[in-house]
Amino acid sequence: MKQYNKAIHYCDTILENEKDNKTLLEFRKKCASLAKDIEQSERKKQFFAKKKQMEEDNLVKEILKRGYKLEGVFETYPEWDEKHQYKAENLNVYFETAKKKLVQTDVNSTLKQILNLPGYVIRGGTPSFMILVRDSPAEKRLLKEYES
């Protein structure tokens, strides 16, 4: 964008002395058109980014307002949990920070409490957690991955 504006400025400077230079007039017109297209594209990109951020903010506000508890998710066993290990007292809950650090949180916390923890990041408009059976091989692998 800056380069197109600079080119337009140079064209204007030269055109002060060469008002009939058709090649330069055409070049200036093309630069102005491209600069306008880029500006519109940037505004559109900013609009959609702002819209997405507002949607995520509204989702977070709604979650915070309702004060959901994570343990409520485990009131019934998922079909795939044949051993019935996924109950609140057997679980550890983790989230990943923007700096790719793993943070353990309390399964008895409300979503509001967790979402307000330092470092918590909502990605794609959805709160996400890693929920693992305490001391399971899967939890040990996860912890080992994040140690590196």
Per residue of the chain (148 residues), give pLDDT as tens.
678 889 989 889 998 999 899 999 999 999 999 999 999 999 999 999 999 888 877 877 777 777 677 667 777 888 888 898 988 889 999 999 999 999 999 888 888 888 889 999 888 878 889 999 999 999 999 999 998 6
pLDDT at 102: 94
CA atoms within 13 A of residue 42's CA, in its CB half-sphere: 8
In the chain, count H helices and then E strands. 4, 3
pLDDT at 101: 93
3-state helix/strand/coil string of 36-86? HHHHHHHHHHHHHHHHHHHHHHHHHHHHHHHCCEHHHHHCCCCCCCCCCCC
C-alpha closest to that of 46 among 38, 34, 36: 38
pLDDT at 52: 85
pLDDT at 119: 92
Sheet holding 91-96, edge to edge: 102-105, 91-96, 130-133
CA dihedral over 131, 135, 141, 142, signed as positive or negative: positive
pLDDT at 1: 67
pTM: 0.58
pLDDT at 74: 75
CA dihedral over 70, 78, 122, 134, signed as positive or negative: positive
